[in-house]
Structure 1
Amino acid sequence: MFTKSPTLTLSTLAPAVPGIAEAMTGLTVLDAYLADPTAAAKQVGPEWIKLTPRGKFTARDGRVFDVDPELLAARFVQDGVDLPVDIDHATVKKAMFGEAAPAVGWISKLEARADGLYGKVEWLADGLAVLAARTHRYISPTLKHDENGKAYWLHSAALVAAPAASMAAVASADLSTLKEPTMLKAIAAALGLSEDASEASCLSAVTNLKARIDPAVHQAALDQVKTLSADLDARNAADHQAKVDALLDGALKEKRIVPAQRDQYAALCATPEGLVQVTALFATLTATLSASGLDDKRPGEKTATLTAEDREVMRMMGLSEEDYRKHNGLTAA
């Protein structure tokens, strides 16, 4: 005989099955007879059940969810599809693996009330049998929500055992993650396991694979990569410097620049991008600098007097006489 059910119970049980955690969301668990306590005494299924409270609530794992009953009720009307009531979220969990997940009741109407969202249920024989046996007396909704915990779609509801019972999960699947079983099969195949291998078997195979890698061999490979990378950097630097020297030496020979400018242009060519820009700049310069007359002079023949050509070069380069003499090895007048 049915006894009076306890008051509202809020609970969110963390999934105990590895790999299911990413697919589950913590929700509430409500007594199936909360909305209609007299149904238990009459040994019938409650016509109306409370599916979720109104507003924000915190699950046992600390996550916060936000339910707007009016929003969910409006979505239900828009979809025009009755929602299944199953056992232990079989519609979500078993369907993920292609297994049968029959409904034990159908929610034909949703109603937003002051304290939450309610559903009108048409119970099937199997559902009434489960309720009569008292093995699953709590209701847990399957809600899809956004990243802020805002629920925007009620997918189904489930009869589950008491929150204190040991079970895989009483929460629902986020339907955006239903591709995981297919991925798990692919991973199992890549590891040489059968397609129906469990996640625990896959993890064990990965662990064994990692154990077969000799740490010394791994470190040696890393060291070799580091050495090869350093050698490549050195070769690239040498090649770059050779290109810079060739460019500046050519510009000096063609009298596009004067020796005093070499270091400045060399600094601009420090990067590959800079080298490209200076090369393009030199292509626009013409050999307008006059000869200084110093090309054939020896160190002992330093000139103390500047020629008119020397002064023209100074003017074009914006150099003082002192700087010009210094860069060209001339003594003071």
Structure 2
Amino acid sequence: MTKRKTSPDAGTAVAIATSQAALDAEGKVRTKVQLLPFGDPIYGRDGRGPWRLADAAHAQAVIDTTLAVQNGTELFIDYDHQSVLAVPKGGTARAAGWIKALTVEADGIHGQVEWTAAAHQALEAGEYRYISPHFRFAQKDGRITRLVNAGLTNSPNFDLAAIASADMDADEADDDTEGDTKKMARFAQALGLSDDAGEEEILAAIKDVMERSTAQASALASARTALGLADDADGEAIAAAASAKAAAIDPAQFVPRASYDALAKTIRENAEASAIAAVDQAVADGKVPPAQRDWALDLAKKDLGSFHSFLDAAVPFAAGDVLNKQPEGAGKHTALTEDEAIACEMTGMSPEDFLAAKNKGTS
């Protein structure tokens, strides 16, 4: 990103505009007011302008820039723009209300307002009627760039919405540029940027800070939940709880992963060797026909105890039944012995499959 040696407000001037009446048609005080209308161009009653708020995308850009410059502080509403007209000359400016949110509506930019009790009473009494935004605009084409604040007034310069005040002249407007430039330099310093950082760089840094802040808040919330802490527990409390939980872990209950893996491998290898030895011995003893060796080996690897139970009930085959070739069809078994039937029940093997394997081993 390239740096620009200008502030976001360079090349702009300020204007004050009276928006819609602060009372609705029934005489009730509005809590949501129009601050800037769509218009390309917009002129004041005194002929000043043109100002421009082209469309919804432009309006959203104005809101985004305003929020970035405010950096978390709320826009305020004063009386008769005293923050602009009186404060620079040593006067004061009391808040009449605070703008809690800015939104893009069908007719322009609106603000959600929280009035002070005094301002609410003054509006109901008819002492003030209009709310007027103080905004910046590009000097070259009148394009509105951001909102500064707003004020209650009785001297509108626009019809209905976005009315430029007749109380501030061009010289006073230009005097504000230097102050805004210094303000942007302070923002840049707070964000760790150089004093001449441009608008885009400052906005990107603010966005990054906000995203990292949100991610950190989410991580802290998860930590509080996992540690059973209250929602308002701070970082120090979280660290203490995590340390206490770590200290409570008994190392004797755990083994290194490498040692565990090596032991598990040895157990598997020993189990396989034991299964192979048991099956080979059973074949040699005549309790398992050679043709059933694969089946017996599979059973022994899965459950060596069940295989030994099978062997306990198995009747050894005669040497001639296993080793000598018999004529086709000779010596075929057609029924199971009592022990063989028990062995089938224990292993889950069907009598038919047992007889087929037995007769295959004698063929």
Structures share fold, TM-score greater than 0.5: no
Q: Quickly name the TM-score band, shorter chain normalised.
A: 0.3 to 0.5
Q: Which has more radius of gyration?
A: 2
TM-score when scaled to structure 2? 0.37
